Amino acid sequence: MATFFEHFTPQEVARISGEGRRVKLPEGWSPIWEDTPADKAYIILEGTASIRQDGNELARLGPGDIVGEAAIVGNKLRNATVVALTPLETIHLTDATLRQLDKEMPSFHDALVQVAQSRVG
């Protein structure tokens, strides 16, 4: 499965990166919790994260992947918890920034839809 960033040109990656804020998260940290409001998303630049629902691991994501986007796009509560298995280097996107990119960049919107559809299971 393609990573989120593989959908974009280098110029688009630079724009997305420039809209967000680089954030380092320590190993063991959970930046997103199941059943909480959707206020942010992260694009992983380095490291590995576990996606868990009711304590069970659903997936592991790494560099180039996005987490936290589905609840923002769908205007729903989070359906999973994200746990950093290693220290993570990320691009932090607020819900407003993600919605702005979704509206202004057709490629960003298309990539979000593809990622969301690939994770429905």
pTM of the entire structure?
0.91
The Cα 96–Cα 85 span in angstroms is 27
What mean pLDDT comes out for the span 60-83?
A: 91
Q: CA nearest 87: which of 39, 40, 31?
A: 31
Segments forming the whole domain that contains residue 50: 4-119
Q: Say if residue 112's pLDDT is above 90.
A: no
The Cα 84–Cα 78 span in angstroms is 17
98 CB contacts (<8 Å, ≥6 apart)?
Answer: 41, 69, 72, 73
What mean pLDDT comes out for the span 80-96?
A: 96
What mean pLDDT comes out for the span 2-25?
A: 92
The CATH number that applies at residue 18 is: 2.60.120.10
Q: What is the per-residue pLDDT for 104?
A: 93
DSSP category for residue 87? -
pLDDT tens for residues 97-107? Answer: 998 999 999 99
pLDDT tens for residues 34-50? Answer: 999 999 999 999 999 99
Q: Say if residue 58's pLDDT is above 60.
A: yes
Q: What is the per-residue pLDDT for 98?
A: 92
Number of domains the chain is built from: 1
How many beta carbons lie within 10 A of that of residue 71, not counting itself?
22
Strand pairing partners for 20? none
